Amino acid sequence: MNSKNNCDTVKPTIRKEQVRLKIPKECTEAADNPDVIVVDRDHPNWDFRPWFKEKTNNIKEAFEGLLGYYEKDPNEFKLAPNCEMTSKEFILDMIDFEIRGIKGYADAIRTMFESGRLTVRDVRLEEE
């Protein structure tokens, strides 16, 4: 695979503003921190960390998918003979699809925290 040709054909379609997530730092750290729980204001006794972790895992998987398509060489990527698009068009479409997925999950997380519906609570403070 020729990385230079690959980057030249795909890279210009990925702009920084397309994948800027704008998720507060405390939120991103909460997914893997056993000392905090994610709390829903409507259900204060429920730990929403599993919901939150699912969304962050979906973002990670979408990034992996994005990178996977980004690294594909359109000249070596074969589609079905009856496909109505070129390999390059398919790869670019899938990159766009992954970017939309990343932004969608990130927006869901950010909206829940910015609205005050979800908060991160340190359980160590409650044990004292």
pLDDT tens digits, 38-47: 778 888 787 7
Edge-to-edge strand ranges of the sheet holding 43-47: 43-47, 36-40, 118-122
Beta-carbon-side half-sphere exposure of residue 83 (alpha carbons within 13 Å): 11
User: Could you give the 3-state DSSP secondary structure of residue 103?
Assistant: helix
Q: Which residues contact 72 (CB under 8 A, 6 or more apart)?
A: 6, 10, 91
pTM, two decimals, is: 0.68
Query: Which pLDDT score, from 0 to 100, does residue 28 have?
Result: 65
Give the CA distances from residue 28 to residues 7, 55, 120, in Å, rounded to whole numbers and listed in that order: 29, 11, 10
Rounded average pLDDT over 104-123? 82
Rounded average pLDDT over 105-116? 85
Confidence of residue 27 (pLDDT cuts 50, 70, 90): low
Query: Which pLDDT score, from 0 to 100, does residue 84 have?
Result: 92
Q: Is the pLDDT of residue 111 over 70?
A: yes
Over the chain, what is the mean pLDDT?
A: 76
Confidence of residue 82 (pLDDT cuts 50, 70, 90): very high
Between CA 115 and CA 102 the distance in angstroms is: 20
Asked if 49 and 37 count as a contact pair (C-beta separation under 8 A), the reply is yes
Asked if 84 and 75 count as a contact pair (C-beta separation under 8 A), the reply is no
